[in-house]
Chains A and B, each alone.
Chain A
Amino acid sequence: EVQLVESGGGLVQPGGSLRLSCAASGFTFSDHFMDWVRQAPGKGLEWVGRARDKGNSYTTEYAASVKGRFTISRDDSKNSLYLQMNSLQTEDTAVYYCARIRRGIFSFEYWGQGTLVTVSS
């Protein structure tokens, strides 16, 4: 069974940093691109970014709203995806989901349950 479990959310002050983790199990993590998607309270879904696999040199993509502040990384030996968030702003307050990307199709396939990040003073 595919499982994606996010952790690391919490309350942080504006300008602060936070690192989210996504622990994957039930599939060969190294075979898949992985994404982060967020959802502000009462709002829709917003794509944050992507981490490609080893075959694609672990390259990344980011939404303009987070580029230069957020960094996505992965550790295939630990079956884990990470989101390092720096210079956090109040508008970054959201539930952050990790998602597995379908191989060869590149659509979202499975989602984690999410972790809440609150940026507030």
Chain B
Amino acid sequence: DIQMTQSPSSVSASVGDRVTITCRASQGISNYLAWIQQKPGKAPKSLIYAASSLQSGVPSKFSGSGSGTDFTLTISSLQPEDFATYYCQQYNSYPLTFGGGTKVEVK
């Protein structure tokens, strides 16, 4: 199975900050990488697929990059609605696997 490792596991940030989350795959996954946002008590929401493509309706303050084993999610200017947990997920091979999550908290 491909292991997905996210860092940091949590980050404290203020409104307006730029936040970067990293995700590392245990083996190469090309660009078969997605980022998913989840707010407390809510269903997950897909943000990015193919490492850098924005899901329809997702604001451009979210961006993704990377290929192979190393990936990043950047939120350019954090807003109150962005405080949530973010997961990376690989769909290169079965079983599909998720990172452990990064909780973005209010500083």
User: Taking beta carbons and an 8 Å cutoff, which residues of A are in contact with B?
Assistant: 35, 37, 44-47, 50, 61, 63-64, 97, 99, 102, 105-114
Residues of A within 8 A of B87 (CB): 44-45
Option from B43, B49, B95, B101 in Cβ contact (under 8 Å) with A97:
B43
Report whether over half of chain A's contact residues are helix, strand or loop; otherwise say mixed.
strand
Besides A45-B89, A106-B91, A109-B46, 12 other A-B contacts (C-beta < 8 A): A44-B98, A44-B100, A45-B36, A45-B38, A45-B87, A45-B98, A45-B101, A61-B94, A64-B95, A97-B44, A107-B32, A111-B45
Known: A45-B87, A106-B91. A111 touches B43 (CB 8 A): yes
Nearest A-chain residue to B96, judged by Cβ: A47
Distance of A47 from chain B, by nearest CB (Å)? 4
Taken together as a complex, chains A and B put the C-alpha atoms of A99 and B38 apart, in Å, by: 14
Q: Let me know if B43 and A107 touch, CB within 8 A.
A: no
| Min distance, Cβ A115 to any Cβ of chain B, angstroms | 11
- A102 to B44 alpha-carbon distance, docked (Å): 15
Can you show 5 pairs from A to B with CB atoms below 8 A apart? A35-B96, A45-B89, A45-B101, A47-B96, A61-B94
Flag whether B50 is at the interface (Cβ < 8 A).
yes
Q: Given the interface contacts A45-B98, A47-B96, does A110 sit within 8 Å of B91 by beta carbon? A: no
* Cα–Cα, bound, A71→B22 (Å): 34
B residues 53-107 near A (Cβ < 8 Å) are: 55, 87, 89, 91, 94-101
Closest to A100 in B: B46
B21 within 8 Å of A by Cβ?
Answer: no
Residues of B within 8 A of A45 (CB): 36, 38, 44, 87, 89, 98, 101
A47 and B95 within 8 A (CB): yes
Is A114 in contact with B98, judged by CB distance below 8 angstroms?
A: no
When C-beta atoms are compared, the residue in chain B nearest to A107 turns out to be: B49
List of A residues within 8 angstroms of B50 by Cβ: 105, 107
On chain A, the residues within 8 Å of B94 by CB distance are 61
A68, B5: Cα distance in complex, Å: 28
